[in-house]
Chains A and B, each alone.
Chain A
Amino acid sequence: IAGITQAPTSQILAAGRRMTLRCTQDMRHNAMYWYRQDLGLGLRLIHYSNTAGTTGKGEVPDGYSVSRANTDDFPLTLASAVPSQTSVYFCASSEGRGSSPLHFGNGTRLTVT
């Protein structure tokens, strides 16, 4: 079934540790996004990539980095996790044309202690 796969599903991480959240899509979409969802704050864009080889900063990029080496994969890295990064992280993709809808993965629930 075509879609977006995120891993891990959930993770408990000690503060200061490095963590990479994985995201893979098999729809050959050009654009990919990372969002975090927090109670009371809704979904906020962290980083995005409009095509392989390019990335951009969203609304809340500090403390996170991304890479886009190929079309299918868009990993999100927390270099040194802090408790405020406790959240649910969603990866999304779209064909890249502005008129196409976003498709979301099922999320990664991350707890930083």
Chain B
Amino acid sequence: KQEVTQIPAALSVPEGENLVLNCSFTDSAIYNLQWFRQDPGKGLTSLLLIQSSQREQTSGRLNASLDKSSGRSTLYIAASQPGDSATYLCAVRRGGADGLTFGKGTHLIIQP
């Protein structure tokens, strides 16, 4: 059974810092990996999707990397802003027709 772990569970940093969120998964036979953010009381918003054949994806200040063989992904946030405060979740898909298996998330607070 696939298990997804996110470290740290919570993180608080001053505005402007660069930071890295970590995600690991136990079964490296994945189809793709997706990073989401979730604001309190809201649904999930997709940030980045990395296919199993890719090493990284970038969107603005966000960069996600994938090392499938070691079962790891990182989400790098550059020049953090208070608006980045949210819970960040990673999720892996085993096959093209499967649902996602989620980690429990990293609760991020950016201090103004």
Contacts and interface: CB of A to CB of B under 8 A. Distances in A.
B34 interface: yes
A43 interface: yes
B17 to A, nearest CB: 26
Contacts of A41: 104
Interface stretch (A11-19, A62-70, A76-84, A103-111): A103-111
Interface string B57-68: 000000000000
Contacts, number: 59
B32 A98 contact: yes
Interface residues of B, number: 26
B62 to A, nearest CB: 14
Given A92-B44, A102-B91, A104-B36, 9 more contacts: A33-B100, A42-B103, A45-B100, A45-B101, A48-B99, A58-B99, A98-B93, A101-B46, A106-B43
Interface of A: 4, 31, 33, 35, 40-45, 48, 50, 58, 90, 92, 97-107
